[in-house]
Amino acid sequence: MPIMKIKRIQIQIFLIIIFLILGGFTFFSFPFLHDEIYFENLFLDEGKVLIVSDLHLESNPRDLTCIGDYLKENDISYFIINGDLFDKMHNEAFKEELLEEGKRRMAIEENPLCNIIYIPAVYNHDPYLETNYRQFQENGYETAFLKGGLKLKTEDNLFYIFHGDYAVSNGIVVAALINKITSTLLFEDFAKWVVGAKKEDWVILGHSHIPGIDYERKVANSGCWINRIVSSTDTAVLIESEKDSETEISLIEIPCE
């Protein structure tokens, strides 16, 4: 066989390998291409919902008791931990004592201050759940674990709340880069399309570590609580619902030392 023909075949094989590697990377980096996401429904007649994300506890040495202080002082009805509560637990099965450690770090371990919903990141960082939904009651309050996301319905709004790794699994690189380059919440827009939310619905994520809120496009990101790529933002999304009043949503900064 001529040498030139051999080289041509080698180049073709190399290009095929590169194509397969890039194709595999793309396939697994965008989980919505091969997985379905589960959403639990919750109706909120009136009350306040606080959403935080990306605490990355094992790698985060900070004092996070300010979160518990905020819950106590502001009469929060639901506290939603929207993914990346942990940092190195992705290969571990979820156990309730893990959440107890998170509650201890946030100073809410002794008595529940409100209903708690923990939505683990599915594709990295957090421990995995073997079922889509689990819950239990403690002193009149509910604690729920959700594998997927939450559809929170108020009288006038529908909120899709999920971590964001279902849209792009590598959030700190891809998702953060997208938002940094465009100076918009383009990643959140993409996630809104991924889950099929309507234009009038809200989508609230974590994952990118970059906080923001866009009232026109109805997307928001709660930011992060650790210095990683971007500095910790100590931010959260607050939803306030009252009967016969328009639901309010805002991006807030929780006072922390």
Read off the pLDDT of each residue in 122-146 and give the average, rounded to a whole number. 83
Q: Which has the minimum average pLDDT: 10-19, 133-142, 159-168, 248-257?
A: 10-19
The DSSP line for 137-183 is EETTEEEEEESSEEEEE-SS-EEEEE-STTT-S-IIIIIHHHHHHHT
Burial of 214 (0-12, 13-18, 19+ CB in 10 A): middle
Report the predicted TM-score, pTM, of the whole model to 2 decimal places: 0.86
What would the two tokens of residue 199 be?
A: 């234009």
State the Cα–Cα distance between residues 216 and 198, nearest whole angstrom.
Answer: 13
pLDDT for res 100: 83
Average confidence (pLDDT) over 13-27: 42
Indicate whether 25 pLDDT > 50. Answer: no
pLDDT tens digits for range 194-238: 999 999 999 999 998 999 999 999 999 999 999 987 889 999 999
* H/E element, 39: strand 39-43
Percent over 70 (pLDDT), the chain: 82
Could you tell me which CATH class the domain 37-253 is placed in? alpha beta
* Banded model confidence at residue 177, pLDDT cuts 50, 70, 90: low
More confident residue, 69 or 176: 69
